[in-house]
Amino acid sequence: MSYRKVEKIIKGIQTTDGAGVNLTRIIGSPELNMLDPFLLLDEFGSANPNDYIAGFPSHPHRGFETITYMLNGKFRHQDSAGNEGILTDGSVQWMTAGRGVIHSEMPEQTEGLVRGFQLWMNLPKKLKMIDPAYHDIPAEKIPQVDFEGGNVKIISGSYQGIKGPGKPHTGMLYHNIYLKPDALFEMKIENGWNVFIYIYEGSMELDQTIPKGCLVVFEQSGDLILDAGPDGAQFIVVAGEPINEPVARGGPFVMNTRGEILQAFDDYQKGVLDKPV
């Protein structure tokens, strides 16, 4: 059996986004601009309301999907398509911006821990202008598989024949995994897919000790075999099929050409970003 070797280990950078939310940018940073089809990964987390209370007021997107996974805390979503929902502990917001959407994500509490991740996943050219969509996934709808060394929460994709509720437009999996101290974890991933793990608690032993706060990118072939450190580990595993198309970015818009980015800004300024073409 072949296994995926570590390709690179990355620490995120501290930054702010929205109206001043403090966060760690892990993908979308100078060290790792993207990992096709993943454009951005942010971790936000603080028990200090000043770090997050300003939230993410109304802002536009076009050309990709956002997947927000809340470990702790509450955020309320509203968008120009008329969708509204609240993210709570352990829940997921899956939003397809498609041709365009204007949305806000605002905290519902002013004290206590807020912690989670936002992942941006690219859409292929043929799907960039599809209708926007929104899917709330409450924690109780995310299946969990228990095994001797820990458990797997299946947000998207499948594990041991059990499928998660997330519905990506291209090949992708997203799992949240807890491992007991020194536990071993194995799973099969499609050859040719890009895969990473992000350790948010504990540590991993992968030829070297990798502490929390690190993103690990693996080679594109073989099974994933992971060893938890002496204090166990909690981490996300995300894998996806590369789209292999040109990527043009312009703030909240991700298209294939610079001209399409300029058109997105023009549509937003004219108030037609989220209207059918």
pLDDT in tens, 175-211: 999 999 999 999 999 999 999 999 999 999 998 999 9
Gyration radius from the chain CA atoms: 18
Question: 210: domain range?
Answer: 6-270
Q: Can you give the pLDDT at residue 84?
A: 76
Residue 56 placed within a domain: yes
- CA proximity to 155, closest of 67, 242, 234, 89: 67
Residues 6+ apart with CB under 8 A from 147: none
What pLDDT does residue 47 have?
60
38 falls within a domain: yes
Please give the DSSP secondary-structure letter assigned to residue 5.
P
| Euclidean distance between CA atoms 70 and 235, whole angstroms | 13
Residue 204 lies in a domain: yes
Q: What is the CATH number of the domain that holds 98?
A: 2.60.120.10
How many Å apart are CA 93 and CA 86, to the nearest integer? 9
**What domain count does the chain have?**
1
Residue 171 resides in a domain: yes
Residue 185 lies in a domain: yes
Given this model, what pLDDT does residue 134 score?
A: 87
DSSP class of 213:
T
- The pLDDT assigned to 14 comes to 83
Residue 10 CA to its chain's centroid (Å): 16
Tell me which residues of the chain have a pLDDT lower than 50.
19
Is residue 277 in a domain? no
DSSP bridge pairs for 197: 216, 237
Q: Which of 157, 174, 182 is nearest to 233 (CA)?
A: 182
